[in-house]
Structures are given as structure tokens and as C-alpha cells.
Amino acid sequence: MSRPCKPRNIEQEVEFTCFKPAWIPKSKLEKVELQAAELEALRLFNLDELNQEAWSKKMKVSASTFNRLIKSANKKITDALVNWKGIRIYKKDWTHNCK
């Protein structure tokens, strides 16, 4: 049995749910899926000048979880940019549905 998920604190609301290259029709576009928590981790890591402890406290996750989110988000974003894929962003993170 896996560990139960913990809700993550996401401060910034996602306004848009998809980014895509302008010249590729949506019907022919491959997509990568980015969770709201991954986007929040990228925002904190790249735009806020804080240390790792502060980032993980803001999101209410451990430092290792924060690092996993950053690594996963970076891989997805890089894949999308290098391979001309769209980026689908989930507005609500799946961990908010924990029971």
C-alpha cells in the first residue's frame, strides 16, 4: 500500500492551461502534462530568490519532494521546447483531492 498523498501549497493560480507552438495545429500536437505543483516549484525556484528550505516550507513539502518536482518539471519543459510539443497544465494539483 502506498503512502497517502499530502496537499501541497500552491500560491499562484494558473490562468492558462495550455501553451503550444503557434505553427503546429492543435490536432497534430503532442503534449506534455505539467501538474500545478510542478509549475509552482518552477516559479519558486526560478523567480523567487529564496533558499531550498524556504521553498519547501512554502509548498509544505520536504526538500527531497521539492527537488523531485523541479527535476520532473524541468524534464517536461525541456522535452516540450526541444521537440516542439505543447504543454498542458493542470489547474488543480491532484494532491488536493486527498482523502
Tell whether 52 is covered by a domain: yes
If you average pLDDT over each of 24-28, 48-52, 61-65, 79-83, which comes out highest?
79-83
Residue pLDDT, tens place only, 24-43: 888 888 999 998 888 888 88
Q: Tell me, what CATH number does 54's domain have? A: 1.10.10
Tell whether 81 is covered by a domain: yes
Domain extent, residue 76, equals 18-90
- 98 is written with which cell numbers? 486527498
Tell whether 68 is covered by a domain: yes
Tell whether 79 is covered by a domain: yes
In this prediction the pTM is 0.74
